[in-house]
Amino acid sequence: MKMRRTLLVLSSLTFGMMMAACKSCVDQHNPRPDQAKFKQEETFAKAERTLTPEGTIPAPVAVAEATGPAAPGQAKFEQFCSACHGLDGKANGPGAAGLNPKPRNFTDVAWQNKTDDARIYKVLKEGGASVGLSSSMAAWGGVLSDAEIYDLIKWVRHFKGK
């Protein structure tokens, strides 16, 4: 009987000591903070890629960039502008068919180069007629905030040369 109790005390003591040691060792070597980095490196290592022209491995693309939210301006563009200017900016939206003059094709590099942001801002805010263009290009000042207009300008710009 006495023997049994001593055994019980001893084993629970040992167990307690093991648990304590285990906790302090996990604290010291906690793998969790490295997990995200490890995942990123793993994704990078497994990704298919072509070497740069210099023959080096291209830098890893930030995870957020690959799967992140849509660029600012894109959603509004698709909502309000793509019917005429096209989802790809090439002015081939269904609304463009009956228009004369045709909507601007934003992939046009020459147009992009000669147009400054101030003009695009004015067209968006006050409409095509405000700069002598077709009035089918409506004024959006009542619908879009300035911040939304600036985001749209960025999205219009990103089509250049695409």
Task: List contacts with ligand HEC (CB under 6 A).
Answer: 80-81, 83-85, 95, 99, 101, 103-104, 115, 119-120, 123-124, 128, 133-134, 136-137, 140, 152, 156
Residue with tokens 């989802």: 87
Nearest CB to ligand HEC, comparing residues 67 and 100: 100
Shortest distance, position 99 Cβ to ligand HEC, whole Å = 5
Q: Rounded to 5 degrees, what angle do the CA atoms 102, 106, 108 make?
A: 95
Q: Two tokens at 152?
A: 């749209």
How far is Cα 148 from Cα 158, in angstroms, rounded to an integer? Answer: 15
| Of residues 38 and 111, the one with the C-beta less far from ligand HEC | 111
Task: Provide the CA 101 distance to its chain's centre, in angstroms.
Answer: 34
Nearer to ligand HEC, 92 or 136 (CB): 136
**At its nearest, how many Å lie between ligand HEC and the CB of residue 162?**
15
Phi, psi of 74 (to 5 degrees): -65, -45
